[in-house]
């Protein structure tokens, strides 16, 4: 990445003509090559397309997403309040929710987290229009099938996935905040 690093460019003008200071800096530069460190920093942290581990965690904090999601440990439950098709079933189809903590933490792989980071970055700069949100969906689920958002014109919107979502993808859709939603608009998710 870095072709040459001129260590003398880092010297403050006050010491630019000091032979002793320049000799010390030249000697240090000859002993320590920082080029590989700069390359490693760029590849592992700065460049989101090649970042790994800690570098992706930093990018996640910058755009506002987390690597660890909570997945439900079992299926749906019978429920009333804030019922969505993702979390509850009607009467006589699922057991009652007991109130116990029923989640498992799941840490996304670097590749999945990178996709989530890029989708959230796209959502952050999106204009919030239907085509803009559809672009976020297509970047989040490339090659998976048809997915889109519709506006019902009554302060509700629906994210539709014409393919089955995994438990991790359901957690991404419902918890990560990557799918844009205008303030005051109720969003629902439909998937096969």
Is the pLDDT assigned to residue 96 strictly greater than 70? no
Q: 123-142 pLDDT, tens per residue?
A: 888 888 889 889 888 888 88
Sign of the C-alpha dihedral, residues 91, 94, 97, 98? positive
Q: How confident is the model at residue 156 (pLDDT cuts 50, 70, 90)?
A: very high
pLDDT at 61: 94
Residue appearing with tokens 């090659």: 143
Beta bridge partners, 153, equal: none
Sign of the C-alpha dihedral, residues 150, 151, 152, 155? positive
pLDDT at 42: 92
Q: 12-31 pLDDT, tens per residue?
A: 888 888 999 899 888 888 88
CA 79 distance to own-chain centroid: 30
Helix (H, G, I), strand (E, B) or coil at 104: strand
């Amino acid at each position: 990445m870095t072709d040459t690093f001129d260590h003398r460019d880092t010297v403050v003008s006050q010491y630019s003509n000091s032979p002793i200071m320049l000799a010390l800096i030249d000697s240090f530069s000859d002993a320590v090559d920082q080029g590989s460190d700069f390359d490693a920093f760029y590849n592992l942290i700065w460049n989101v397309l090649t970042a790994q581990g800690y570098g992706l965690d930093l990018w996640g904090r910058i755009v506002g997403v987390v690597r660890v999601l909570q997945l439900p440990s079992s299926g749906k439950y019978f429920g009333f309040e804030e019922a969505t098709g993702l979390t509850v079933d009607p009467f006589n189809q699922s057991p009652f929710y007991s109130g116990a903590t029923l989640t498992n933490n799941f840490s996304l792989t670097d590749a999945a987290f990178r996709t989530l980071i890029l989708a959230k970055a796209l959502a952050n700069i999106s204009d919030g229009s239907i085509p803009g949100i559809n672009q976020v969906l297509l970047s989040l689920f490339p090659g998976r099938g048809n997915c889109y958002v519709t506006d019902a014109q009554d302060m509700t919107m629906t994210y539709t996935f014409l393919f089955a979502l995994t438990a991790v993808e359901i957690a991404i859709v419902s918890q990560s905040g990557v799918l844009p939603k205008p303030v005051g608009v109720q969003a629902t998710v439909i998937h096969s």
